[in-house]
Amino acid sequence: MKDIVFRGDKTKLSPHLQSILNELEKDSFEKTKNIPNFLPKKNYREENNYKETFKDKLIKYLFFGFLIFIVLLIILGFVKLIEWF
């Protein structure tokens, strides 16, 4: 029974699946005299206590600096192309 864990709402299951789950619970109760009651998993979100580190800021600024550099190279390329004609 340790491998069979249902953490959802049993009432939302189809009648067939409810009967199968009830049979498994009866079998577990006969063998162990216990029906484990598993609570549904909760979606925990991390609190927004995250503070941006120097490394995070450096990576962000280097990325945007690289993008600006590429745009400037493209503009310079168009200017030189126009001067060439």
pLDDT in tens, 46-67: 667 778 899 999 999 999 999 9
> Contact, 38 vs 5, CB < 8 A?
yes
Q: Does 56 lie in the same domain as 39?
A: no
Q: Does 60 lie in the same domain as 37?
A: no
Which residues touch 34 (CB under 8 Å, ≥6 apart)?
28
Residue span of the structural domain in which 23 resides? 1-43
Which residues touch 20 (CB under 8 Å, ≥6 apart)?
none
In the chain, % of residues over pLDDT 70: 78
CA–CA distance, 31 with 84 (Å, rounded to integer): 89
pLDDT (tens digit, 9 = 90+) per residue, 24-53? 888 877 887 777 676 666 766 666 777 889
> According to the model, what pLDDT value does residue 23 have?
86
Q: Give the predicted TM-score (pTM) of the model.
A: 0.41
Q: Does 60 lie in the same domain as 36?
A: no
